Copies of this chain bind each other. A is one copy, B any other.
Amino acid sequence: MEYPSKLIEEAVTEVSKLPGIGKKTALRLVLHLIKENETRTLMLAEALTKLRTNIRFCKICFNISDETECTICRSHKRDHSIICVVEESNDVMAIENTAQYSGVYHVLGGVISPINGIGPTDLKIEQLVQRIAQHKSEIKEVILALSPTLEGDTTAFYINRKLKEMNVKVTSIARGVPVGGNLEYTDEITLGRSITARVLFD
């Protein structure tokens, strides 16, 4: 498509680099910004610039943070003896939203994925091992909350092997039929797992 202005073209190019946003959506967003008040666009641009320039990661759990240690790691209300290992910061947010977990986290920054060239050293696995080694007596449990995919399982398997020699209890989040799901439409693997991993009805 030919754009009436170089500025539009540049903006569309940059916006369409975002995941899930094609040229058409990008153009729609850009034309929307033009119609709106100028301050709106400037505020958006400033928020993004500030975000990317000032964002930090917690030096303990590698979660996104405004300071060197995140609010969860700094909190005395949290149970620091349980570490929940997740892939990304949004997993932390998702688990926090459930209000079912009061321990701390460890953000890996991804999962082992040879096809995307991501090996164990690209993730914060070594940092997790060191973190546990340093506070061995305090840590009671490590929960692996990784995606139930091939990559997630591989990563969980790798971490479990690494932690085995440390004699720490390693658990995994339950896998089974999702709440509100329909047995009929649940895939066989999930249904099979939910049967083998059945729990006492109480």
Q: Which residues in chain A, 1-38, are within 8 Å of chain B measured between CB atoms?
A: 1-8, 10-11, 13-15, 17-21, 25, 27-35, 38
Q: Is the CB of A48 within 8 A of B11?
A: yes
What string of 1s and 0s marks CB contacts (under 8 Å) between A37-64 and chain B?
A: 0101111111111111111000000011
| Distance between Cα atoms of A49 and B34 in the complex (Å) | 11
Verify if A96 is at the interface (C-beta below 8 Å from B): yes
| Distance between Cα atoms of A106 and B53 in the complex (Å) | 42
* Chain A interface residue count, Cβ-Cβ cutoff 8 angstroms: 60
Q: Is the CB of A19 within 8 A of B38?
A: no
**Majority SS at the chain A contact face:** helix
Q: Which stretch of A84-92, A132-140, A182-190 is in the interface? A: A84-92
Q: Is the CB of B28 within 8 A of A40?
A: no
The quantity of this chain's copies bound in the complex is 2
Give the contacting residue for A88; candidates B2, B31, B38; CB below 8 A.
B31
Which A residues are within 8 Å of any B CB, using their own CB?
A: 1-8, 10-11, 13-15, 17-21, 25, 27-35, 38, 40-55, 63-66, 70-72, 88-90, 92-93, 96-97, 109
A64 in contact with B34 given A2-B93, A25-B20, A90-B27 (CB within 8 Å): yes
A121 → chain B closest CB, angstroms = 17
Q: Is the CB of A4 within 8 A of B71?
A: yes
